[in-house]
Amino acid sequence: MKQNLALFDLDNTLLAGDSDYNWSLFLIAEGLLDAKTHQERNEQFYQDYKNGCLDIYAFLEFQLKPLSQHPKKFLDALHLKYMEKVIRPMMTKKAQDLVNQHKSAGDLCVVITATNSFVTKPIAAAYGIAHLIGTDPEMVNGEYTGGVTGVPSFQEGKVTRINQWLAARGQQLTDFNKSYFYSDSHNDLPLMKLVTHPVAVDADATLAEYAKQQGWAVISLR
């Protein structure tokens, strides 16, 4: 029997909140970023994302720069604190149950997110999902440079990245009997249109309307 593929967006889908946006707020709260300059730009980028007009490279320059200002060892310790204080309260039982359902069915489970993999890999692991496709921060000699490696997994970039990831495994999307993609955001429509079972999760207005027109499944994990 063919295996099924279950793809999960992370922010505002599996999580009842946004790990990227809240990472900046966390760094401000920790006294590692200047509140005034950072908070304003963080809000603007978040609005651009929601409006579908985010300049991903400008955002990544903003978001990845703080990683280049601290040793990785320090950042890893900081992330543990972030997980406990901010992320775990956003992890819902419904989301975990959904992941467990796919895992127990033997489906290949992957978190695919525009948020950088430094922030998201431990979150995917906390859900028990071994595979993560995130936007990859550049590293040189084991430290972050503030740059990005490869294609950001954002909008059409998610299609590129899942195709690359599957190809590296000797697979393609059409190899799966069923392919699911759970997302809250209209930014994910390029990939949602390619899977056999797109599911709108606590969807934004644009995605909710599109899902309704297409007769897609609509659920809440809150």
Torsion of CA 45, 9, 136, 163, to 10 degrees: -120
| Of 106, 40, 118, 46, the residue nearest 77 (C-alpha) | 118
Paired strand residues for 180: 6, 197
Q: Is the pLDDT of residue 141 over 90?
A: yes
- pLDDT category at 8 given cuts 50, 70, 90 is very high
* Domain residue limits, the chain: 5-219
Which of 50-54, 99-103, 158-162, 166-170 is least confident? Answer: 50-54
C-beta of residue 201 within 8 angstroms of C-beta of residue 28? no
How distant is the alpha carbon of residue 180 from its chain centre?
Answer: 15
Indicate whether 2 pLDDT > 90.
no
Mean pLDDT over residues 51-71, rounded? Answer: 94
Question: What pLDDT shows up at residue 86?
Answer: 98
φ, ψ (nearest 5 deg) of residue 93: -60, -40
Question: Rounded to whole angstroms, how far apart are CA atoms 158 and 152?
Answer: 8
Q: Residue 119: pLDDT above 90? A: yes
Please, which pLDDT band fits residue 26 given cuts at 50, 70 and 90?
Answer: very high
Contacts of 23 (CB under 8 A, 6+ apart): 63, 82, 119
Residues 6+ apart with CB under 8 A from 124: 10, 111, 130, 131, 132
Asked if the 5-219 domain carries CATH number 1.10.510.10, the reply is no
Q: What is the pLDDT of residue 37?
A: 86
Instruction: Report the amino acid identity of residue 202.
Output: D
The residues, any chain, with a CB within 8 Å of residue 68's CB and separated by 6 or more, are 143, 144, 145, 146
Taking the C-alpha atoms of residue 195 and residue 67, their distance in angstroms, rounded to an integer, is 34
pLDDT (0 to 100) of residue 165: 98
State the catalytic residues: 9, 11
State how far the Cα of 53 lies from the Cα of 74, in Å rounded to an integer.
33
Calculate what percentage of the chain has a pLDDT beyond 90.
96
> DSSP character for 50?
H
Residues pairing with 200 in the sheet: 183, 218
Please give the mean pLDDT across all residues of the chain. 96
pLDDT tens digits, 81-106: 999 999 999 999 999 999 999 999 99
